[in-house]
Structure 1
């Protein structure tokens, strides 16, 4: 049906919109009409806090990327660091096999010169120098390995983090609403980046170290006694399997233990974050019992880890010493036959064992590379995602703004719930400098209009215009710079009052901040605090009262000096005293600005230039307070009557 444009009809003294007789499907009530279902982060039931959160949404499995793709942000300097780190790992790994070679020759030297003290002393001095050289090489190799793998991986992952965060900031609201369930974005920034850093850093170094040690050890063993080496290699697969099993099993059990402790930590965090509720319901004992029960699982995992580790280590030692016995028996037969010396036997024995153990230690690193490929796929998918509404995209930036807003036939459903229409042919006209209030039942779509004005979303149909220009044509950053938002639950950052206000205009001086604070009726309470403007507000402003947070948010909006002001139930959560103070500040802020007010308390919008009643996504009535009250059984009259406690329509 046709909606009045806000001016009186020629044949009627009152603007009137006939009640909509359309669909009666009830819209689900959303969290602040944002269209997104409320998310639970910790449920409090009679003083006991549950750490169980809403399950993360099922996400499409992303195939792992190729391993070398993980190095996509390595520059020339990183490539140099990687080369030096690889050389250091190889040198460090080679030291122990080379040591066995020198050790075997030293044993033979002692045997040859045992009856010649002068020669023996000279031999000792010679091998002392060899050991010093090996030590220096090991020192240099280890330093290069640890330093350059760490530096190169940190540099690359820092570049990934910066690009990941930049990509997250470029995405539109619908992307964040779909991805942040279960902390998906934060997991990518934290856990996935840590996994990625390990896969391109220290794990590569350890693998190269182990492979160098293994191959050089086996080569030395073959050179010094190939037949004895073959005898030892017959047993070596058992040692390799043992080493692999031990490393893999311990890694899995450690992961399980960390997960069990994570559950306990989540419960503790949820409990400590809701202490008022815990105290109110005398839930201290129950919370402690619940937390204690969550610690039982880490104990069970720890016992299993101890049993498995002890068994595998014991079995490995038994097999290793059996291998020693077999090797020494075979070596003794070769010594008796005169085909090998005692030093060569010891050299082959130690070099082959070192090589076998090193291979066993290298194998478990493969799982870290696989985890890194999977983490890299998730991180790079986020970084490569194209924003539906890109804040960086170019657009028109008019030199001035009048503040005229026109919504024509707007239809909209949230991307997360495309089958639930929120706006169904929404029409509204706001003239420059005019204050228009949107009222209606919860879930009618009022707050959705604010989101569309800021281009958090685009309409499915219809248009939204600012000064006659479709908002989709305007530069997004410029568009939002012309608007100031004060919402029901203002968002404060965990920093000082000064920095929270300065967020409205980063280049503002302290004098500008104080002036904005005075205009917002905040200066007096701020100065009464011990640290005044340098007072930290706590996480999400937890140290401030509702009225104080609201006034800080208003000061931030004043500092921004927007041409268009959006007030989304800015006083609905306040008590009467705080509401009066905040409303006074809002009245000053609204002067000379185009203002769209979403109000729950109708008493706060009686003086609005125009009041639009929204029902099931449409404007069904529009006019001033007095005009709308004169409509018999009108939607606005019913709302006023409900709030004033009268059963019949207001007059």
Structure 2
């Protein structure tokens, strides 16, 4: 005989089944909503992709580290070029001393008042032209028979001119030789070092794994390496000689000025701090403009490389 069904028990079992089914649906809805919320927004993800993190700023390289790839021959040429620049800088104050001596010979060549009263020079070839002062009879300094040309004062001026011509010729030859040495030596050693840097850089790049090229931007590679090496070549080449020449000439000129007229030199040095500050500001601005120029050239070179490829 079949067991008798209890309606109350049947209702209770149905209610429990409905409750369990509702709880299961709620769990599934919570799981789906949490998974949907975990999906990133496409717009925000696109923004993150577009906004690349800024590249780290490389610290400036110390000046003497630029010569790490120099060979012993390059160091010899560097010293030789520096010495040539120092010699060239010393020659210019010597030229100033010579010009000052010849000026003194013009002004005070032993022409006292009595001598002037005895001379009336015919400066032009016009026989009617006379020196506009009430002097004595007309004479011509180009005439070897006139009294002044054969006087001790005239001989002294002629000797000063002769010495001036000889000294200027010697210093001019020295300037040519020393200038040629320092320009040629420094440019030659700069070319050698830049060639060595370029070769080692290329070797280092070719030794990298394939994954390294995926993490590095190579669009502006060619233009950036060219610009950077050109700046290095300018910095370790002829500009070293020009800086050494300028500093040597400045120091030698200051010493010369103190020897020949220290009072006037002190007055002129009042403006030195202003000049130094202005030059420092100019150097800072120029360095900033050079950095911006390199970045602009790198971006333009990268675009050109992409279009060509």
Alignment pair present for 1:154 and 2:191 = yes
Task: Select 2:273's aligned residue among 228, 237, 240.
Answer: 237
Structure 2 counterparts to residues 326-341 of structure 1, below 5 A: none
Match of 2:162 among 125, 137, 146: 125
Distance of 1:89 and 1:67 partners within structure 2: 19
Find the aligned partners of 1:88 and 1:230 in 2 and give their Cα distance: 30
How far apart, in 1, do the equivalents of 2:170 and 2:164 lie?
Answer: 10
TM-score by length of 2: 0.61
CA separation of 1:257 and 1:200: change in aligned 2, threshold 3 A: closer
**How many residue pairs end up in the alignment?**
220
Kindly provide the CA deviation profile for residues 171-190 of structure 1, in whole angstroms up to 9, marking residues without a partner as x.
1111122123452x435532
Give the alignment's TM-score, normalised by structure 1. 0.31
> Does the 8 A contact of 2:190 with 2:236 survive in 1?
yes
Within a 5 Å distance, the mapping from 1:15-54 to structure 2 comes to none
**2:83 aligned partner:** 87
Q: Structure 2: 5+ residue runs without aligned partners? A: 1-49, 112-152
Q: CA RMSD in A?
A: 3.3
Contact residue 154 and residue 197 of structure 1 kept, 8 A: yes
2:95–2:171 CA contact under 8 A, matched in 1: yes
* Counterpart-to-counterpart distance in 1, 2:61 and 2:156: 61
**1:110 CA displacement:** 2.5
Corresponding position of 2:63:
67
How far apart, in 2, do the equivalents of 1:55 and 1:142 lie?
53
Q: After TM superposition, give the deviation of residue 206 of structure 1 in Å.
A: 1.9
Pair 1:242–1:133, CA change in 2 (3 A): farther
SS in 1 for 2:108: helix
> Would you say the 8 A contact 1:93–1:212 is kept in 2?
yes
On the 8 A contact 2:93/2:253 being kept in 1, the answer is yes
1:215 and 2:257 correspond: no
SS of the residue corresponding to residue 62 of structure 1 reads coil
For 2:294 and 2:275, locate their aligned partners in 1 and report how far apart those are by CA, in whole Å: 28
Of 150, 164, 171, the match for 2:208: 171
2:231 corresponds to: 195
**Is this contact kept in 2: 1:90–1:209, CA < 8 A?**
yes
The runs of 5 or more residues in structure 1 that have no matched partner are 1-53, 274-538, 541-651
- Report deviation, 1:119: 1.7
- Rg comparison, structure with higher value: 2
Q: Of 142, 160, 178, which aligns to 1:141?
A: 178
Secondary structure class of the residue paired with 1:171: coil
Decide which moves more: 218-227 or 145-154.
218-227
What does residue range 428-467 of structure 1 map to in structure 2 within 5 Å? Answer: none
How far the C-alpha of 1:248 sits from its partner, in A, is: 5.5
CA distance in 2 between counterparts of 1:101 and 1:240 reads 26
How far is the alpha carbon of 1:149 from its aligned partner?
A: 1.0
Aligned mates of 1:236, 1:248 — CA distance in 2: 18
Tell me if structure 1 keeps the 8 A contact 2:219–2:305. no
| Larger relative helix fraction | 2
Flag the 1:265–1:79 CA change in 2: closer, same or farther, 3 A.
closer
